[in-house]
């Protein structure tokens, strides 16, 4: 994977709670999503509580990607140590990360969209 979770900072404090990730290569962050999954006995489960799919945005090697739990407006700025900082906001009103939940970062290599009202792939509608 070209994006890696480094740490969760300020767990339980909505205004500060965030996941810090680092880009290992040039890429588009829109091919990644973070799932909030339940844990049991310090192991992750397949019980997904919530998901955040990053919007399409180019990110360069060694850039830092920060996902805040709170509401906000996505933005980027130069980092004092080089590269860029990219800030994204999940838009939640409660903190997410405690001992019962863990973030799972997924690389989305393939997906399909369906029109829920017609139950056929959108690619067949057009």
21-39: pLDDT as tens digits: 999 999 999 999 999 999 9
Q: What are φ and ψ of residue 60, in 5° steps? A: -100, 160
Taking a C-beta distance cutoff of 8 angstroms, is the pair 36, 53 a contact?
no
Please name the CATH architecture into which domain 3-124 falls: Sandwich (2.60)
Domains in the chain: boundaries: 3-124
Global confidence as pTM: 0.88
Ramachandran area for residue 14 (φ above 0: left; ψ -120 to 50: alpha; else beta)? alpha
Regions in the chain scoring below 70 on pLDDT? 115-126
Whether residue 17 contacts residue 8, with contact meaning beta carbons closer than 8 Å, is answered with yes
């Amino acid at each position: 994977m070209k994006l890696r979770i480094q740490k969760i900072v300020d767990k339980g404090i909505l205004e500060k709670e965030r996941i810090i990730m680092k880009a290992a290569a040039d890429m588009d962050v829109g091919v990644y999503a973070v799932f909030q999954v339940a844990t049991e006995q310090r192991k992750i489960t397949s019980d997904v509580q919530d998901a955040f799919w990053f919007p399409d945005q180019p990110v360069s090697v060694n850039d830092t990607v920060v996902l805040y739990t709170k509401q906000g407006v996505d933005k980027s700025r130069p980092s004092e140590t080089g590269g860029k900082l990219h800030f994204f906001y999940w838009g939640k009103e409660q903190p997410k990360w405690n001992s019962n939940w863990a973030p799972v970062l997924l690389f989305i290599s393939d997906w399909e969209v369906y029109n829920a009202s017609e139950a056929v792939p959108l690619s067949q509608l057009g």
